[in-house]
């Protein structure tokens, strides 16, 4: 496919006002793509070169991109910058100023060139990258240059999530629900949508079904539902394992002979940040090949206590790893086994998986087994919960004893009971920003008075509004937030947003913020949980806490279902 043809499709996706339109255009792209290279189209449409765990960083900062545009268009750097300030999008600056060159490279050429730019490193790499980008822009039409620039800036943001792409793949081969489930299953165990698409296009459904768990490919994590009391938990799943809920970050560890890789909950590789877990795995795991999960926590050797979450989370940083590992060493509390010596453990019952897990971990410094008890008695569960809370832990996770590990799924096989659910709404809620309102009164000078926030509807793959939030930040930070949001502003409502409220500025659903609210109420204004004649749900007195969450993507915010459950629990 010529890159300019793809650019035409991308424009259609951008102007789509409904999710179904977006799915249709994506499916057209996939249908017209070369089957052997379908994976690259899938990655590109997600704004990346490769799956999340193998993401190549292109390494072109804004200044470098401005240089390239200047060289490709003949404008001075100052002029490019001026236009950028005016248009707010370097892609548009490139599009408007590039000449209609004769060349129109293929998509595959562009993809390959982007990979080569990412690979340039070492001395002279800045100049090398700028130069290669200039040449690449000259090989496409102006419309193509627009998308190349947005891509290298990390701002392609078509708004197509994984579920949207799976649906588009299904539509592109004209198949229904059953295929969608097969694709989802395969995706859940390999986390690589490009691979799934390629299998489908080259080998059909049979090929997709042959995708297996493999060390090196992270498995999408199983997630927990929540309930509010020990009694409800026992009523729901009966005799169960009750594990301590540690408040750190989740690690999925893959060991293959002497190689160890660690993936985050978002499936990014974080091996380099966690040297002591790598070492601990090599020392303590009695297996050639294994995939297991645990929660990592920073431990204070002096006091024998865990550090608070804020300290632990710093360990995900890329810099000063050695010093950090010495000052705040981590322990990994292991709670599940997903694969061992060539065999997937996903379909084995919890009790068998954990029994084997205990057998393959030698006692040692770093890897520990998550503490647990087994009970069918609500009072006993309550006592254990209280005891955990007293020890400073977050609460417990109850696990169905005979349940398989359901990758990528949130259900009652795991049920969390946290300190904060009991009584008032003290739990925080993550929302994605979909728009903002210009300020009134005192806020006029800031240009922003409140944001419109949404939660995720997993079933329909849409973002539905749940709150207008206008407090919690300093004036300075409101202005800073406006600056960030303006870069994602879009003239129309984004296709996957469902809203009755029209903000002054629509914003692509990219940024996640955490809010605290007093309670959840029914509301005719918000679309979260709204059904034909029934009102939706809204947060009462919401306020922002903290800054944009770098560790969460739009589909990781709280779900409509969770909001409804929290409402019922109040
Ligand atoms: P939440 O993020 O509140 O939905 O809770 C689920 C998370 O708790 C998991 O993704 C893990 O990171 C973490 N966690 C802590 N302890 C455990 C445990 N024993 N079993 C499973 N998950 C745990």
Mean pLDDT of 54-61: 89
Q: Is the pLDDT of residue 55 over 90?
A: no
Q: Which atom of ligand 1 is nearest to the CA of 247?
A: 15
User: CATH number, domain at 444?
Assistant: 2.40.50.140
**Given the structure tokens 């997630």, which residue do they identify?**
223
Asked whether the beta carbons of 517 and 539 are under 8 A apart, the reply is yes
**Are 443 and 524 members of one domain?**
yes
> In the structure encoding, which two tokens stand for residue 390, read together?
């007293």
Asked whether the beta carbons of 247 and 394 are under 8 A apart, the reply is yes
**Active-site residue, selected from the candidate residues 143, 245, 255, 399:** 245
**Are 410 and 438 members of one domain?**
no
In whole angstroms, what is the distance from residue 527 CA to residue 467 CA?
A: 10
- In a mutational test of the pocket of ligand 1, which residue from 336, 416, 565 has the highest number of ligand atoms less than 8 Å from its CB? 416
- CB of 224 shorter than 6 A to ligand 1: yes
User: CATH number, domain at 329?
Assistant: 3.30.470.30
**Are 323 and 462 members of one domain?**
no
Q: Is the pLDDT of residue 423 over 60?
A: no
- In a mutational test of the pocket of ligand 1, which residue from 295, 372, 396, 405 has the highest number of ligand atoms less than 8 Å from its CB? 295
Ligand 1 centroid to 246 CA: how many Å? 7
**Are 491 and 541 members of one domain?**
yes
**Are 362 and 230 members of one domain?**
yes
Residue 506 lies in a domain: yes
* Boundary-marking domain end, from 355, 389, 421: 421
Residue 542 lies in a domain: yes
Ligand 1 centroid to 466 CA: how many Å? 25
Phi (first) and psi of residue 447, to 5 degrees: 80, 0
Distances (CA, A) of 16 to 11, 479, 503: 9, 30, 18
Beta pairing class for 223-226 and 410-418: parallel
- Please confirm, yes or no, whether 245 is among the known catalytic residues: yes
- In a mutational test of the pocket of ligand 1, which residue from 226, 240, 245 has the highest number of ligand atoms less than 8 Å from its CB? 245
- In a mutational test of the pocket of ligand 1, which residue from 397, 429, 556, 566 has the highest number of ligand atoms less than 8 Å from its CB? 397
Sequence-distant (≥ 6) Cβ neighbours of residue 254 within 8 angstroms: 215, 216, 218, 260, 261, 262, 263, 290, 291
**Are 325 and 405 members of one domain?**
yes
- CB of 555 shorter than 6 A to ligand 1: no
Q: Which atom of ligand 1 is nearest to the CA of 221?
A: 10
Residue 203 lies in a domain: no
Q: Is the pLDDT of residue 340 over 70?
A: yes
* Boundary-marking domain end, from 390, 421, 452: 421
CB atoms under 10 Å from CB of 393, counted, come to: 19
- CB of 416 shorter than 6 A to ligand 1: yes
Residue 116 lies in a domain: no
CB atoms under 10 Å from CB of 188, counted, come to: 19
Q: Which range of residues forms the domain containing residue 411?
A: 223-421
In whole angstroms, what is the distance from residue 30 CA to residue 37 CA?
A: 10
Give the CA count within 13 Å in the CB-facing half-sphere of 179: 20
At residue 344, the pLDDT reads 98
pLDDT tens, residue by residue, 312-326 = 888 887 788 998 888
> In the structure encoding, which two tokens stand for residue 304, read together?
């024998």
Residue 276 lies in a domain: yes
Ligand 1 centroid to 566 CA: how many Å? 18
Mean pLDDT of 431-442: 91
Least confident of 54-58, 319-323, 353-357, 426-430: 426-430
Q: Is the pLDDT of residue 426 over 70?
A: no
Residue 532 lies in a domain: yes
pLDDT tens, residue by residue, 135-144 = 999 999 999 9
**Are 383 and 466 members of one domain?**
no
Query: Cα angle vertex 9, ends 6, 13, to 5°?
Result: 135
At residue 420, the pLDDT reads 62
Asked whether the beta carbons of 228 and 415 are under 8 A apart, the reply is no
Residue 214 lies in a domain: no
Ligand 1 centroid to 518 CA: how many Å? 25
* Boundary-marking domain end, from 421, 438, 462: 421
**Are 394 and 529 members of one domain?**
no
Ligand 1 centroid to 161 CA: how many Å? 24
Ligand 1 centroid to 193 CA: how many Å? 25
Q: What is the dihedral of CA 561, 508, 41, 33, to 10 degrees?
A: 100
- CB of 370 shorter than 6 A to ligand 1: yes
> In the structure encoding, which two tokens stand for residue 226, read together?
């929540």
Q: Is the pLDDT of residue 461 over 60?
A: yes
> In the structure encoding, which two tokens stand for residue 482, read together?
């406006």
**Are 450 and 358 members of one domain?**
no
How many angstroms from the chain centroid is the CA of residue 234? 32
Mean pLDDT of 340-346: 98
pLDDT tens, residue by residue, 97-116 = 998 878 999 999 999 999 99
Ligand 1 centroid to 61 CA: how many Å? 36
Q: Is the pLDDT of residue 422 over 60?
A: no
At residue 449, the pLDDT reads 92
- CB of 493 shorter than 6 A to ligand 1: no
With H, G, I as helix, E, B as strand and everything else as coil, classify residue 47: coil
Residue 147 lies in a domain: no
Find residue 369's DSSP bridge partners: 334
- CB of 397 shorter than 6 A to ligand 1: yes
Q: Is the pLDDT of residue 120 over 80?
A: yes
Distances (CA, A) of 474 to 40, 376, 441, 444, 478: 43, 49, 16, 15, 6
**Are 410 and 470 members of one domain?**
no
At residue 308, the pLDDT reads 79
**Are 407 and 435 members of one domain?**
no
- CB of 295 shorter than 6 A to ligand 1: yes
At residue 552, the pLDDT reads 87
Distances (CA, A) of 431 to 181, 301, 428: 27, 36, 10
Q: Is the pLDDT of residue 300 over 90?
A: no
With H, G, I as helix, E, B as strand and everything else as coil, classify residue 129: helix
At residue 444, the pLDDT reads 86
Burial class (CB in 10 A: 0-12, 13-18, 19+), 14: buried
CB atoms under 10 Å from CB of 428, counted, come to: 13
Beta pairing class for 462-469 and 512-516: unpaired
Percent of the chain past pLDDT 90, that is, above it, reads: 80
Asked whether the beta carbons of 111 and 40 are under 8 A apart, the reply is yes
Residue 250's pLDDT band, with cuts at 50, 70 and 90, is very high
- CB of 226 shorter than 6 A to ligand 1: no
- CB of 552 shorter than 6 A to ligand 1: no
Q: Is the pLDDT of residue 44 over 50?
A: yes
- CB of 297 shorter than 6 A to ligand 1: no
- CB of 335 shorter than 6 A to ligand 1: yes
Q: How far apart are the first and last CA of the chain?
A: 54
Q: Which helix (H) or strand (E) holds 255?
A: strand 249-256
At residue 512, the pLDDT reads 96
At residue 425, the pLDDT reads 55
In whole angstroms, what is the distance from residue 334 CA to residue 342 CA?
A: 20
In whole angstroms, what is the distance from residue 540 CA to residue 400 CA?
A: 35
- CB of 245 shorter than 6 A to ligand 1: yes
**Are 279 and 400 members of one domain?**
yes
Ligand 1 centroid to 235 CA: how many Å? 21
What average pLDDT does the chain have?
Answer: 93
The domain total for the chain is 2
Q: Residue whose CA is closest, atom 4 of ligand 1? A: 224
At residue 175, the pLDDT reads 78
> In the structure encoding, which two tokens stand for residue 133, read together?
């980008």
Distances (CA, A) of 483 to 337, 468, 489, 513: 44, 18, 10, 15
Q: Is the pLDDT of residue 305 over 70?
A: yes
């Amino acid at each position: 496919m010529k890159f300019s043809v793809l650019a035409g499709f991308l424009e259609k996706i951008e102007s789509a006002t409904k999710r179904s339109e977006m799915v249709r255009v994506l499916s057209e792209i996939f249908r017209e793509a070369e089957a052997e290279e379908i994976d690259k189209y899938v990655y590109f449409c997600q704004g990346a070169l490769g799956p999340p765990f193998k993401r190549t960083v292109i390494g072109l900062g804004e200044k470098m991109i401005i240089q390239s545009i200047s060289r490709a268009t003949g404008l001075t750097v100052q002029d490019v910058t001026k236009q950028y300030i005016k248009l707010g999008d370097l892609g548009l600056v490139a599009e408007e100023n590039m000449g209609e060159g004769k060349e129109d490279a293929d998509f595959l050429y562009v993809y390959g060139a982007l990979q080569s730019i990412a690979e340039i490193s070492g001395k002279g790499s800045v100049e090398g990258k700028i130069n290669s980008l200039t040449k690449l822009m000259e090989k496409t039409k102006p419309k193509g240059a627009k998308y190349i620039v947005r891509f290298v800036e990390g701002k392609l943001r078509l708004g197509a999530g994984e579920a949207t792409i799976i649906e588009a793949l299904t539509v592109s081969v004209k198949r229904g629900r059953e295929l969608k489930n097969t694709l989802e299953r395969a995706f859940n165990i390999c986390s690589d949508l490009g691979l799934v698409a390629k299998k489908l296009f080259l080998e059909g459904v049979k090929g997709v079904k042959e995708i297996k768990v493999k060390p090196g490919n992270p498995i999408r994590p199983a997630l927990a539902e929540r309930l509010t009391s020990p009694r409800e938990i026992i009523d729901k799943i009966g005799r169960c394992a009750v594990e301590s809920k540690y408040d750190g970050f989740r690690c999925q560890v893959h060991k293959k002979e002497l190689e160890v890789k660690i993936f985050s909950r978002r499936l990014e590789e974080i091996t380099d940040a966690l040297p002591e877990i790598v070492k601990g795995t090599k020392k303590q795991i009695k297996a050639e090949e294994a995939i297991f999960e645990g929660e990592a926590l920073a431990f204070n050797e002096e006091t024998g206590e865990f550090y608070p979450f804020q300290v632990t989370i710093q360990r995900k940083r890329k810099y000063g790893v050695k010093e950090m590992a010495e000052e705040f060493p981590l322990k990994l509390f292991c709670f599940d086994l997903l694969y061992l010596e060539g065999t997937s453990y996903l379909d084995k019952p919890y009790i068998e998986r954990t029994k084997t897990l205990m057998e393959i971990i030698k006692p040692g410094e770093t890897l520990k087994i998550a503490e647990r008890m087994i009970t069918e008695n609500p009072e006993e569960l309550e006592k254990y919960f209280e005891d955990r809370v007293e020890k400073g832990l977050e609460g417990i996770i109850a696990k169905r004893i005979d349940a398989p590990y359901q990758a990528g799924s949130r259900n009652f096989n795991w049920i969390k009971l946290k300190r904060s659910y009991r009584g008032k709404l003290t739990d925080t809620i993550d929302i994605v920003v979909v728009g903002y309102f210009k300020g009134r009164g005192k806020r006029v000078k800031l240009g922003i008075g409140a944001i419109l926030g949404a939660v995720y509807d997993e079933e329909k793959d849409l973002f539905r509004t749940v709150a207008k939030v206008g407090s919690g930040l300093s004036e300075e930070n409101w202005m800073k937030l406006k600056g960030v949001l303006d870069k994602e502003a879009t003239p129309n409502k984004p296709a996957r947003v469902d809203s009755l409220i029209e903000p002054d500025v629509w914003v692509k659903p990219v940024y996640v913020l955490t809010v605290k609210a007093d309670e959840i109420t029914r509301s005719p204004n918000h679309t979260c949980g709204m059904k034909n004649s029934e009102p939706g749900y809204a947060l009462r007195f919401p306020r922002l806490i903290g800054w944009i969450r770098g560790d969460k993507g739009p589909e990781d915010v709280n779900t409509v279902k969770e909001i409804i459950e929290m409402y019922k629990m109040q």
